[in-house]
């Protein structure tokens, strides 16, 4: 789920407005509606399977999967729906505008933090589920959520938030100070994005090396954690447009934003990641079977026949 930082730009103190044609507007409304449905339905089902069918598939590392699913569900329910309503009504107003910006950053930070924790647990193996190590993992997960809320609150406190039609949500709006923008972006990027990304990169490389050199590794290919490489790959793919738009913003001293189409693409792709993750979980055979069993056996089964009487026949 990355949008590295949700920010819009400005040119000479004025946000560049994006006027949508009717066709573009309803195409985006349709896309956002599909993404919201995928995210809400998919992540609700995932959480139900993880809670109700735990004994039907192997999953050693529950914490990061639950945290990631909650982050994706929250983004689908609150952020994508907010963008959808903004497209229909023509904008977002205070205080919902500020809430959306804060929550979006919190969900971004928690999602990349969850993936980083999952990568660490895969490298350390069963040792990561011991009591002492589990406390560290729970603390790290809470820190990722709290850090996102803290950095998301800074633009709200300083009243930097305005609606950006191109991004279809409220975002940070830079009016005059390039130095303020640079300090905030670098601090937020370093703490919330770069550190977990570096952990993901290092752990992924260690896991690959271990799999190549250790033929007798104590790894279970059927464990749900086997989907981690796919989660990492699609996460990076979906948030690449946003990372590029942020680099463009940092490189322009006049605070002019990235092109409208790139900012729109960054929002659409980051939203898509919330709906793709449940599909990625289903690539695990046992998890998929548990989900199908939950859906198809939800109806009350017929009771077994009961013997109520015996009739003796005389020949």
Residue 284 near residue 227, CB atoms below 8 Å: yes
pLDDT of 127 above 80:
no
Overall size of the chain counted in residues: 315
pLDDT at 252 (0 to 100): 73
Q: Is the pLDDT of residue 255 over 60?
A: yes
Q: What local confidence, expressed as pLDDT, does residue 213 receive? A: 59
- Calculate mean pLDDT across residues 224-230: 89
Most confident option among 51-55, 101-105, 208-212? 101-105
Local confidence band at 11 (pLDDT 50, 70, 90 cut-offs): very low
Separation of alpha carbons 34 and 274, rounded Å: 11
pLDDT of residue 101: 86
At residue 312, the pLDDT reads 55
Q: Is residue 80 within 8 Å of residue 30, measured between CB atoms?
A: no
* pLDDT (0 to 100) of residue 8: 40
Out of 89-98, 207-216, 275-284, pick the least confident.
207-216
The residue among 303 and 188 whose pLDDT is bigger is 188
- Residue 309 CB burial class (10 angstroms; 0-12, 13-18, ≥19): exposed
Highest average pLDDT, of 54-58, 132-136, 280-284, comes from 280-284
CB 270 within 8 A of CB 235: no
Residue 130 reports pLDDT greater than 60: yes
Confidence of residue 124 (pLDDT cuts 50, 70, 90): confident
What gap in Å lies between CA 115 and CA 121, rounded to an integer? 10
Label residue 128 by pLDDT band (50, 70, 90): low
Q: What is the pTM of this model?
A: 0.82
Which range, of 3-7, 27-31, 216-220, 289-293, averages the lowest pLDDT? 3-7
Q: DSSP code of 302?
A: P
Which of 135-144, 164-173, 303-312 is predicted least confidently? 303-312
User: What are 271's two structure tokens?
Assistant: 């939203």
pLDDT over 90 (residue 251): no
Q: Mean pLDDT over all residues of the chain? A: 80
177-205 tens-digit pLDDT: 677 778 888 888 888 888 999 999 999 88
> What does the pLDDT average to over 68-95?
90
The CB density around residue 14, as the number of other CB atoms within 10 Å, is 9
Share of the chain above pLDDT 70, in %: 81
Helices (H), 125-227: 131-157, 178-188, 195-213
| CATH class, 7-211+219-291 region | mainly alpha
Distances (CA, A) of 304 to 293, 301, 307, 311: 20, 9, 10, 20
Mean pLDDT score, 159-164: 84
Structure tokens at 83: 């963008």
């Amino acid at each position: 789920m990355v949008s590295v930082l949700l920010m819009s730009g400005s040119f000479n103190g004025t946000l560049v407005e994006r006027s949508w044609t009717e066709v573009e507007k309803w195409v985006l409304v349709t896309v956002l509606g599909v993404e919201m449905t995928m995210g809400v339905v998919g992540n609700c089902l995932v959480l139900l399977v993880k809670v109700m069918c735990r004994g039907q598939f192997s999953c050693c590392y529950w914490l990061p999967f639950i945290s990631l699913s909650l982050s994706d569900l929250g983004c689908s329910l609150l952020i994508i729906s907010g963008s959808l309503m903004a497209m229909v009504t023509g904008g977002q107003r205070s205080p919902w505008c500020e809430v959306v910006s804060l929550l979006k950053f919190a969900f971004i930070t928690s999602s990349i933090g969850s993936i980083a924790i999952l990568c660490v647990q895969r490298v350390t193996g069963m040792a990561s589920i011991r009591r002492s190590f589990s406390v560290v993992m729970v603390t790290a997960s809470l820190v990722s959520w709290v850090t996102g809320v803290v950095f998301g609150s800074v633009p709200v406190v300083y009243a930097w938030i305005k609606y950006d039609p191109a991004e279809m949500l409220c975002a940070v709006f830079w009016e005059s100070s390039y130095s303020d923008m640079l300090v905030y972006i670098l601090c937020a990027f370093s703490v919330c994005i770069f550190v977990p990304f570096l952990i993901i990169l290092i752990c992924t490389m260690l896991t690959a090396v271990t799999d190549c050199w250790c033929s007798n590794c104590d790894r279970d290919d059927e464990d749900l954690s086997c989907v981690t490489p796919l989660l990492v790959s699609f996460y990076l793919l979906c948030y690449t447009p946003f990372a590029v738009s942020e680099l463009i913003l940092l490189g322009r001293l006049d605070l002019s934003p990235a092109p409208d189409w790139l900012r729109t693409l960054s929002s659409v792709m980051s939203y898509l990641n919330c709906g793709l993750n449940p599909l990625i979980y289903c690539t695990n055979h046992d998890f998929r079977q548990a989900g199908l069993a939950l859906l198809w056996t939800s109806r009350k089964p017929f009771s077994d026949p009961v013997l109520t009487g015996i009739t003796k026949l005389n020949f």
